[in-house]
Chain A
Amino acid sequence: MLYKNNRIGRRLSVFAALAGMLFVSAAVQADPVPLEERLQLCAGCHNQDGNSVIPENPKISGLHPKYLVRQLEDFKSGDRKNPVMESIIPMVDESEFKALAKYFSEQKRLPGLLAPVEPSAPAVADASAPAAAGALSEQAKAEMVEKGKQIYEEGVLATAAPACGGCHGADGAGNDKFPRLNGQNPAYVVQQLQNFKTGVRTNDPKAVMRAVAKRLNDDEINAVAEYIVTLKEAE
């Protein structure tokens, strides 16, 4: 050996061993995708700031990070099913969930139906926009919002459906257990309530949302969704 009984030689071999360990550990852990880059995967459907302009896709801005992580975990495990998320989620490693959730939780939730920024993109939005909401007269829409407000704040006594505001808050701000609702896209709210009602979505802890949705009829679901999109975050 060239470096036999040589201090430098021993140091070099220690260095080599350390470098080897580093290399091995780097190889085991997949290259972490920078958050900026990963966000592009989400932004296509949810928008860069989490305020989706596509009515069927949820706004995920301002959701509690714990709630977001739980949803991502449920998509990953299959406890929550969605064809689009099913194809996306395998590309995202569980170690990224926290940072993604933190980012979107810090984005401000915007109320109302949002127009796409780029004028070239609206074909998707138009195709998936709720036909009923678009076709309504101003008067009918206002009545629907009023009815939705009643349901949101008082529930439906006849079927003992609880008021949404009880858990989600009067302003819809939610918390770690109950997701933020204010400004949510109505088509998405209708879709989720129907999914709870029919048992398609089953990742509601304690099955509480399934129990609630079963007590609402289609008119009530549509009305409450039209009210929720108008709810503004309390300053």
Chain B
Amino acid sequence: MKNLFSIVIVALFSMQAAVVEAADAYVPKVYGKKGYVWDEMTPERIEVLKRGGDPVKGKESFRGCQGCHKADAAGVREGVYPRLTGQHASVLIKQITEIRAGIRLNPKMLPFVEDPAISMEEIGDIAAYLGTLTSARENGKGAEDMSAKGKKIYTDNKCSRCHGVNGEGDAAKSFPAVAAQHYDYLIREMKWIRQGVRGNSHPEMVKAIAKFSQSDLEAVASYLSRLPDYRTVTAAAAPAGK
């Protein structure tokens, strides 16, 4: 009887705690957990998007990032660190704020990007600065003879619906550009998205790549890694289109 009484008390208290928590604190949810919604705006992300960014300030703030991503933000060919050059500001802001919120799980990056290593203001500045960068360094590429198979898989699975026919992604929808990304990074992230290790997987993407074999993953990664930086493609296409 006494036990039942204490259970009721504890239950009442935890219910109250849950209510208070819901009202006060933002609670991040990762992929696979109940209530996870892809692209759900965090309070910080809303604020950063509202503020915009200053590329001049961003250059100084990026100093703390370039130990891994390099001064040209092109990462490393081994794919341990992604190529950020040309990535949409909206995507960079989504990823950084979601890592900080614990939605994208990235323990290796977290110490260098969590508050106060980088302030909220600096996120927008860095994203704006990266938009100004180009890199002459070649990215890590997959085998050339896998590319055609990769292109077919990319097309058949309608990957371009989100990531674009040129791998340019979609800035407005926060879909990342994937063209000219490092081969090994693409493979790693596809696996981590599929396994839920990345934390902020898009459920549609998980479904789309669920049945990809290792060889399929390699083919798609090879194809995308061999695409040119989408900015050169759109720049070349622009005069013809007008």
Contacts and interface: CB of A to CB of B under 8 A. Distances in A.
B81 to A, nearest CB: 8
B111 interface: yes
Nearest to B66: A166
A163 interface: yes
Interface in B65-100: 65-68, 70-71, 76, 78, 80-81
Interface string B48-75: 0000000000000001111110110000
A166 B63 contact: yes
A149 to B, nearest CB: 15
A167 B67 contact: yes
A154 B78 CA distance: 12
A130 interface: no
If over half of B's interface residues share one DSSP class (helix, strand or loop), that class is named, otherwise mixed; here it is loop
A160 B67 contact: no
A180 to B, nearest CB: 14
If over half of A's interface residues share one DSSP class (helix, strand or loop), that class is named, otherwise mixed; here it is helix
B73 to A, nearest CB: 11
Interface residues of B, number: 17
Contacts of A162: 67-68, 112
Interface of B: 63-68, 70-71, 76, 78, 80-81, 108, 111-112, 116-117
8 contacts: A160-B81, A162-B68, A163-B67, A166-B63, A166-B67, A167-B63, A167-B64, A208-B111
Given A157-B78, A206-B117, 11 more contacts: A162-B67, A162-B68, A163-B67, A166-B63, A166-B68, A167-B64, A167-B67, A175-B63, A208-B112, A211-B111, A212-B67
